[in-house]
Amino acid sequence: MPEPEEQPTTHAPAAAEHPEPSGSAVAGSTVSGSTAGGLPKRRRKGAISIVPRADSTTAAARTSEETASIMGAFQRGTQSGRSAANPSREGHDPQ
């Protein structure tokens, strides 16, 4: 059986030689060690809480009439958008 050909090895550039932009995937993880192929291993950082703090200010509550008006406007806009995009009303049950 023929011996498998050895893959040519290439030098992977160090991170200091080619800095990555701050918005890259590296920003959300930390590098720790490297794989057998020379690629960096990444380890997840701790979870980030997206829940607002209790001391943050809250918006003033809307009245039920204001909420009904907003939701009604949203529904009318959705229905008019659907009718403008698809003039065929076949199989549609108006509510």
**pLDDT profile of the chain (95 residues), mean per 10:** 57 50 50 82 79 70 95 96 76 64
State the Cα–Cα distance between residues 16 and 12, nearest whole angstrom. 12
pLDDT score at 56 = 59
pLDDT score at 77 = 95
Contacts of 42 (CB under 8 A, 6+ apart): 29, 30, 31, 32
Contacts of 26 (CB under 8 A, 6+ apart): 20
Joined tokens for residue 44:
């997840």
Q: Is the dihedral of CA 87, 93, 94, 95 positive or negative?
A: negative
pTM for this structure?
0.32
